[in-house]
């Protein structure tokens, strides 16, 4: 059951994009670009994970930071007193298309002075219809300019009340808190329905043997959106961020648009995203724009986490109402050691293990506390509210429920042989990853068992020009670094086992697959 919205000085319900643009034009931090769209330079440039709390009297129920209901009540009082004197906007819609059993009403209620946020959110919701029910709505109450109670980390606050399906945001003007505010609650609800919500893109790839539906999981900045939108055999994207995987393997979409990272956005590499964000309909946030409105997607002086939204209707895409069952899962990570460009999991247990490892190097999307640091995030899903082992076990249940072969692969979108400052290291580039995805869909990769890790590595991928990226051992052997390779094998195995040992509750046999 959702809550009633707080009383405000005025309220505009579901304004048009044109009306929202008019209000945005009055914002001092908004600028009209050369493309006829607006860029807003926000104070906050990434998610505020350190300021986010789950409201509960039972801290053992979540791995996130807990807040008592007494402290939450104080925050609610502060926010609602603030709203009483403010002009507000509410945008209503759905998470999920019309035929999805995972469809849920949602809304964001926000200060009109930050109208770029509801404008961007409106592009991601499926439109409201006559069946939309306020009492079922996942609600985000968003005050970008209201200070939270004293003592809040970084003077920001995000409260997540799953009992009442409401998220409150204080003193944060980054759009991502609106988007994830609703989706985070939706993911918990989906889990309660017996399904698995995944931090995943989805695309449909035509092949000689029929269409193949790919799921692509990865932390922000690992290439999830790029991989989703890069085309193989005229493939079409369905979703760039969150999907539900249900028993039997069916997949359901969430958003009617895309929230894309813009740093380094190049029309040659990402023509679909570039084309959608460089029109009057696209919205930009924290992108570099000069005084004349010229946009520079390569300028990270304000942040490397520039973003933009656009509707799916503005690009070629596969109809999300017509999705079938997932054929394979790609787990993306950006590492720089001996992880190959692609590895195929040899068992369900190994698939769960690597899904739980969620290895990557953090990016600016997670703030300075994550950027450039090696991380492990189970399911590559930092928004899961329960215990991480529950994700792994649920993935195993979903795989067991499928009556067909569901392939799981790890893709390294970073480097092999060392970091960027190592002249002997090699970068896994977008064309490399694209060739791998095409070959997985067409089932044309030749595989052999890796003697150290037990997964399968590729001995040949059609259209892939560098065997040392497919089998990093060959790069280390050519460079005379066999001892380095052997040392890294033992170190990585030990580190992975030590990490996985902390996940009490995982089904048996999973940790053993790590060697």
pLDDT-derived band at 221, boundaries 50, 70, 90: confident
Handedness of CA 306, 309, 312, 315 (dihedral sign): negative
Q: Within the chain, what is the greatest distance between any pair of CA atoms?
A: 71
Per-residue pLDDT reduced to its tens digit, 123-149: 999 999 999 999 999 999 999 999 999
Taking residue 397's Cβ as centre, other Cβ atoms within 10 Å add up to 14
pLDDT of 363: 59
- What separation in angstroms does the CA of 171 have from each of 43, 81, 148, 262? 9, 15, 7, 24
pLDDT-derived band at 375, boundaries 50, 70, 90: confident
Is 362 within 8 Å of 370 (Cβ atoms)? Answer: yes
pLDDT-derived band at 371, boundaries 50, 70, 90: low
Query: Residue 365 above 60 pLDDT?
Result: no
- What separation in angstroms does the CA of 90 have from each of 15, 157, 302, 405, 416? 8, 20, 29, 44, 48
Is 489 within 8 Å of 472 (Cβ atoms)? Answer: no
Per-residue pLDDT reduced to its tens digit, 68-88: 999 999 999 999 999 999 999
How many DSSP H helices and E strands does the chain contain?
Answer: 12, 31
d(CA 139, CA 88): 14
pTM equals 0.94
Query: Residue 366 above 60 pLDDT?
Result: no
- Of residues 515 and 431, more confidence is placed in 431
pLDDT of 63: 87
Query: Residue 427 above 90 pLDDT?
Result: yes
447 token code pair: 């595989």
Query: Residue 373 above 90 pLDDT?
Result: no
483 token code pair: 């001892």
Closest Cα partner for 303 from 291, 286, 318, 315? Answer: 286
Per-residue pLDDT reduced to its tens digit, 180-208: 999 999 999 999 999 999 999 999 999 99
d(CA 228, CA 242): 12
d(CA 285, CA 306): 6
Taking residue 22's Cβ as centre, other Cβ atoms within 10 Å add up to 12
d(CA 405, CA 401): 11
pLDDT of 132: 97
d(CA 161, CA 175): 20
pLDDT of 478: 97
DSSP per-residue string spanning 304-335:
S--EEEEEGGGS----GGG--B--EEEEEE--
Per-residue pLDDT reduced to its tens digit, 239-298: 999 999 999 999 999 999 999 999 999 999 899 999 999 999 999 999 999 999 999 999
pLDDT of 369: 58
d(CA 484, CA 478): 12
Contacts of 504 (CB under 8 A, 6+ apart): 389
Is 468 within 8 Å of 426 (Cβ atoms)? Answer: yes
Query: Residue 39 above 80 pLDDT?
Result: yes
pLDDT of 362: 65
Q: What is the mean pLDDT of the chain?
A: 95
Domains with residue ranges and CATH for the chain: 10-193 (3.40.449.10), 198-255+323-514 (3.90.228.20)
């Amino acid at each position: 059951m959702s809550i009633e919205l707080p009383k405000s000085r005025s309220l505009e319900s579901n304004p048009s994009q044109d009306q929202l643009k008019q209000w945005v034009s009055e914002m001092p931090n908004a600028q009209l670009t050369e493309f006829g769209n607006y860029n807003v330079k926000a104070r906050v440039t990434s998610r505020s994970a350190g300021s986010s709390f789950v409201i509960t009297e039972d801290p053992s129920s979540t791995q996130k930071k807990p807040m008592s209901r007494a402290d939450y009540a104080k925050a609610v009082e502060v926010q609602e007193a603030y709203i009483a004197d403010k002009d507000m906007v509410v945008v209503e819609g759905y998470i999920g298309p019309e035929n999805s059993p995972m469809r849920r009403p949602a809304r964001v209620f926000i200060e009109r002075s930050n109208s770029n946020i509801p404008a961007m959110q409106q592009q991601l919701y499926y439109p409201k219809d006559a069946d939309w029910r306020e009492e079922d709505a996942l609600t985000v109450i968003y005050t970008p300019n209201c200070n939270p109670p004293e003592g809040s980390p970084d003077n920001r606050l995000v409260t997540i009340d799953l009992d009442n399906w409401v998220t409150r945001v204080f003193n944060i003007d980054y759009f991502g808190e609106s988007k994830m505010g609703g989706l985070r609650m939706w993911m918990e609800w989906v889990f309660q329905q017996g399904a698995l919500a995944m931090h995943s893109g989805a695309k449909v790839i035509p092949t000689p043997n029929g269409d193949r539906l790919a799921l692509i999981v990865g932390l922000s900045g690992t290439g999830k959106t790029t991989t989703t939108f890069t085309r193989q055999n005229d493939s079409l994207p369905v979703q760039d961020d969150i999907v539900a995987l249900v028993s039997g393997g069916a997949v359901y979409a969430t958003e009617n648009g895309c929230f894309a990272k813009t740093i380094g956005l190049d029309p040659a590499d990402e023509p679909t995203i570039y084309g959608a964000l460089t029109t009057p309909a696209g919205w930009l946030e924290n992108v570099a724009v000069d005084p004349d409105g010229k946009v520079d997607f390569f300028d990270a002086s304000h942040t490397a986490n520039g973003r933009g939204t656009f509707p799916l209707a503005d690009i070629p895409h596969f109809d999300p109402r017509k999705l079938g069952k997932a054929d394979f899962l790609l787990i993306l990570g950006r590492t720089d050691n001996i992880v190959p460009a692609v590895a195929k999991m040899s068992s369900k247990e190994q698939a769960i293990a690597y899904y739980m490892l969620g290895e990557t190097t953090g990016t600016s999307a997670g703030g300075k506390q994550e950027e450039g640091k090696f991380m492990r995030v189970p399911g590559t899903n930092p928004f899961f509210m329960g215990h991480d082992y529950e994700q792994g076990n649920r993935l195993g249940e979903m795989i067991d429920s499928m009556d067909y072969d569901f392939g799981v692969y790890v893709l390294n979108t970073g480097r092999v042989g060392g970091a960027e400052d190592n002249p002997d290291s090699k970068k896994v580039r977008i064309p490399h990853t694209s060739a791998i995805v095409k070959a997985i869909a067409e089932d044309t990769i030749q595989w052999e068992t890796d003697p150290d890790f037990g997964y399968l590595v590729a001995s040949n991928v059609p259209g892939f020009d560098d065997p040392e990226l497919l089998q990093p051992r060959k790069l280390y052997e050519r460079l005379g670094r066999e001892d380095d390779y052997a040392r890294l094998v033992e170190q990585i195995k030990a580190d992975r086992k030590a990490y996985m040992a902390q996940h009490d509750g995982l089904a048996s046999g999973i940790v053993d697959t790590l060697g």
